[in-house]
Structure 1
Amino acid sequence: MYLLLFKNFIRSQSAYLGMLFLLLSGLVSIFVGRQFIEKQKANIEHTAVYQKEHIERYTGYIEKDLGLLLYYLKFGLVNTTDNLNGLSIGQRDVNPSIQSLTIRNLEGQKYDTDLQNPVSLLLGSLDLGFVIIFLFPLVIISFCYNLLSEEKEESTWILLSVQSQTPFRILFKKFMVRFAVITGVLLFLIVLAIPILDLRINAALSGFILVSLFYITVWFALSFWVVSWNKSSRAGAAGLLCFWIVLTIILPAVLNHFILSKYPLPEALDTAIEQREAYHEKWDTDQKPTIDKFYRHYPQFRSYGYPKESFNWLWYYAMQQMGDDESKSQSDQLKAKLWKREEMSRTLSYFVPGLHVQFQLSDLTGSGLADQLRFTKAAEHFHEGKRLLFYPKIFANEPTGSINWKQFQLEYYSERSTINWLAMLGPLLLFSLLFYYLGSVNFRKQTVL
């Protein structure tokens, strides 16, 4: 029976067009992902070479004044890009994956990013995650919207009902044939992506596959429920398209607007202004209050006292430190609100399958807001470590040659969130069971079973 139904389905023009559409868009998305990964790797290699040449050049120019040298020197921290990120780029094309920092004021540096074409960023990237979330449901709709209505409109359903005691099983098998075809296309694209993107076979890739399969199941279950309404083909197509528009476009946009309104970010501008004013105004004040505040922050450096020169590096880097310290309140509020946005978005996504899948794919590939916030936190620790390393050497007026500058290579951050399989797959499974149950109830009422 399955073989017969498969042959009947595969002969239709819509089946060929649907599969061809998914295969072409999926193939393009994989190569877009590869291009993104290659660009990221090229940026990392370029930064590594630049940092080495940058340090060699400036240490050659400035041989005695360590404070002046460290005014210029930049040290890089890289947010490691896994090749799996090529399947779901997420926010990686917006947020910086490399932080090159001096030991000066941090708040003025940590949000620096590469120059990008804003139009390209607005349009986003055609990655496989986009194809799965937005395009696969459309093809599923085109395959399933008229499974029952077509039979009735062609007057074959009555004949089938007379000849078979369980016509529902035949209808269910037609759904299963289409599910198998769509699943086959998805798995084919992922198998194709493994050598193209050089993916590792690990838990993250398994999670990506399972989330995608469960999401497809949700749309088949939803189609099953809409078909159970026993309406015309036009009504079925209109109903499913309305669900697609609401679940993939309208609801995410409404929730995003709600979250942005609930957690506005005036602190972003306040932080930028406060850190600039806190540093620049120190040029017009006495050195002692600035140095006193610096010693309250770093009591271990009190032994360096109060230099009498009109300009000294202790005072200068104390001013830089004050830019961070006096804007810390606004900076902490900004980070807290960003985390609240992330947590509320994640909670609300449990009720919107497409949004939930987007969050899970971002977690698996390390391309979401949560990953960027953790990377920013790591950059703060990285910056603080460099300060604590160099401050004593600057204040003691050590020569630049006393430091082995070759040891300062790019450093890498690779922490990722752990996979919570229940939270990842549970909501999708519940949606699938709910829609299947509602469809089964409708079919029982119509005595189709």
Structure 2
Amino acid sequence: MSWLIHELRLILRSRLSLCALLLLLALAAAAVGIGLHEVARQHQAIERVGPLQEQDAAAVAARYADTGDPGSHAYYTFYGTWDAPSDAAFLALGLRDVAPFVLRVRALGLQSQLYEGETFNPELALSGRFDFAFVLIYLAPLFVIALLHDLVSGERQSGRLRLLLSIADGGSLWRRRVALRYALLFACLAVPVVAGMLLSGASMAAMGVVLAVVASYLAFWCGLSLLVAARNWPTVANATALMGGWVLLTLVLPTLANVALTRAIPVHQGVDLMLAQRQAVHGAWEIPREDTMRRFYDSHPEWRHSAPLPDGFHWKWYLAFHQLGDESVADEVSAYRAGLQARQEWTARLGWLLPGVSAQALLHRVADTDLRAQLDYQDRIAGFHREIRQFYYPYLFEDRPIGARDFADRPVYEASPGPSGSVGLHALLALGLCWGIGLWGVLCAGRLGLR
């Protein structure tokens, strides 16, 4: 253990190394703290939804208590839905930063309500969120480069290299030094993560996956640094090559891949679905009411026994063409979701070539903040919206008045708990490539400084 104490003293005596380790620890701790604060804020927002929802429903019930009009209740009553963050969501906020995690819906057309949350200012989301995923993917490699770029060249420039190689085996010496620096970098990232996951109550399985992602990603960059150092270039050349690799692997190639996926798999925005659905709804006012009801009964034959429409406005006609508006864009909705899922699948394939993409996708999956989580939330909203319509339809199509007791039996949204997302085996295997680069660099360590 004497070598460990000796090497640790050398690192602590180096101001650059010590400052780099402390800065990485501070950044990781700050990212975890900011993530925990954001998750707590979202929990507080969700907790406020329930009481506010009851107040709105009570106001509607009091206003239309004497009328017994089910259409007014259906039109004016909003129902809150929410997607509670998982215990590991603080690590990578993902789509929760731009997609709504609280959404109120009513018995009208769903698509026009589902994508209203997309009307945000894109400039506000351009900078992204400072979370642990950002620190790991984009900043941690810079600290690896800072600690390893002059591992051999620095000794050569100081004139100590030949002396070191004469008293110690070069391969074992460099491996020990790299292993110690790797362990210190891993500790700087892992300690805040473990503390945050213990505070949030995350599962041990999720913690294990996150630590495996951190270890694998650091192993890739340490291995890459050793491969560059094996070229025995000067310190400036090593730093330039590694920084070029960082720019290429974390910025340029992911951006080009994203542009290529966007052009190869074109997907319209959800706002386009909202506008198409609203156009169909607004156009229904110009269509004969009998034609609208005939189309509605064709797709909902269980309500064919409903009495003919009276003269003037009737709520069942109004809700019927809202339902038809949703059905008119059903194919576009399926194509939209299929396109998003296709992009996600190709992004997972890119993770085999770009370790940053793979690590980020894994963190988002464990945190349950990726596309799959967002689509699951939309599916839960659609299922709940179906329950709302089925609750009001008997009153509307059978001309039954709705009383206070009836309204009290209205559907209530029950959100399932948000466990950490499950990780597929293929995603974990992608991390094996990171370890492959790391082991390759370790094997090349025996040649360091021999030329």
TM-score (norm: length of structure 2): 0.93
Q: Aligned partners of 1:122, 1:368: CA distance in 2, in Å? A: 17
- 1:244-278: CA deviation from partner (whole Å, max 9, x where unpaired): 11111111111111111112224746533331221
CA distance in 1, matches of 2:149, 2:130: 26
Q: Which moved more, 1:212-221 or 1:404-413?
A: 404-413
Counterpart for residue 72 of structure 1: 76
What does residue 400 of structure 1 align with? 403
Q: 1:151 aligns with which of 155, 159, 183?
A: 155
Aligned to 2:443: 440
1:264 to 263, 266, 272: 266
Which amino acid in the other structure matches residue 343 of structure 1?
A: E
Report what 1:344 is aligned to: 346
Sort the Cα spacing of 1:210 and 1:417 in 2 relative to 1 into closer, same or farther, 3 A. same
| Distance of 1:371 and 1:269 partners within structure 2 | 19
Is 2:320 aligned against 1:294? no
Deviation of 1:35 (Å):
2.1
Choose 302-311 or 91-100, whichever is displaced more: 302-311
**Aligned-pair distance for 1:191?**
3.3
1:130 aligns to what? 134
Q: Secondary structure at the match of 2:338?
A: helix
**Contact 1:76/1:411 (CA < 8 Å) preserved in 2?**
no
Aligned mates of 1:82, 1:372 — CA distance in 2 = 12
- One-letter identity of the residue aligned with 2:188: V
Contact 1:194/1:200 (8 A) holds in 2? yes
Q: CA deviation at 1:402?
A: 3.9
CA deviation map 1:175-230 (0-9, x unaligned): 011011112212221233245x4333431222112211211111111111111111
Which residue of structure 1 aligns with residue 38 of structure 2?
Answer: 36
Alpha-carbon distance in structure 1 between the residues aligned to 2:448 and 2:156: 17
**In 1, are the aligned partners of 2:109 and 2:325 still within 8 Å (CA)?**
yes
- Gap runs ≥5 in structure 1: none
Preserved contact between residue 371 and residue 416 of structure 1 (Cα < 8 Å): no
Could you say which residue in structure 2 is the equivalent of 1:328?
330
Q: Structure 1's 438 and 7: CA in aligned 2 closer, same or farther, altered over 3 A?
A: closer
* Cα distance change on mapping 1:416 and 1:288 into 2, 3 Å: farther
**Partner in structure 2 of residue 178 of structure 1:** 181
**1:370 and 1:441 mapped to 2: Cα distance?**
40
Structure 1 residues 334 and 379: CA distance shift in structure 2, 3 A: same
TM-score (norm 1): 0.93
The residue type paired with residue 292 of structure 2 is T
Q: Are 1:412 and 2:409 counterparts?
A: no
Distance across 1 between alignment mates of 2:195 and 2:376: 32
What is the CA deviation profile of residues 331-375 of structure 1, one whole-angstrom value per residue up to 9, with x for unaligned ones? 221111111111111211221111111111110011112211221
Identity of matched residues, %: 24
Partner AA of 1:360 in structure 2: L
Unaligned stretches of 5+ residues in structure 2: none
**Counterpart selection for 1:109 from 99, 107, 113:** 113
Say which SS state the counterpart of residue 94 (structure 2) adopts.
coil
Q: Alignment partner for residue 49 of structure 1, among 28, 48, 51?
A: 51
1:403-429 Cα offsets, whole Å, 9 max, x none, are: 152764442144668534632332222
**C-alpha root-mean-square deviation of aligned residues, in Å?**
2.2
* 8 Å CA contact retained: 2:217, 2:434: no
Taking the aligned partners of 2:91 and 2:445, their CA distance within structure 1 comes to: 38
Alpha-carbon deviations, 1:271-300, whole Å to 9, x = none?
A: 333312211122122111111111122111
Alpha-carbon distance in 1 for matches of 2:321, 2:424: 48
Say yes or no: does 1:211 pair with 2:213: yes
Note the C-alpha offset of 1:389: 2.2
Moved more, 37-46 or 394-403: 394-403
How has the CA–CA distance of structure 1 residues 377 and 119 changed in structure 2, closer, same or farther, with 3 Å as cutoff? same
Task: Output one character per residue of 1:137-170: Cα deviation in whole Å (capped at 9) or x when no partner.
Answer: 1111100001111122222221222223x21110
CA distance in 2, matches of 1:322, 1:299: 14
CA contact (8 A) 1:342 1:369 kept: yes
User: The residue matched to 1:76 in structure 2 has which SS?
Assistant: strand
Aligned residues: 446
1:381 corresponding residue in structure 2: 383
Aligned ranges 1:71-110 → 2 under 5 Å: 71-110=75-114
CA distance in 2, matches of 1:31, 1:391: 48
* CA distance, structure 2, for counterparts of residue 236 and residue 149 of structure 1: 8
Cα distance in 2, alignment partners of residues 30 and 446 from structure 1 = 39
In structure 2, do the counterparts of structure 1 residues 180 and 435 end up closer, same or farther at CA, with 3 Å as the change threshold?
closer
Deviation, structure 1 residue 447: 5.8
Partner of 1:86, secondary structure, is coil
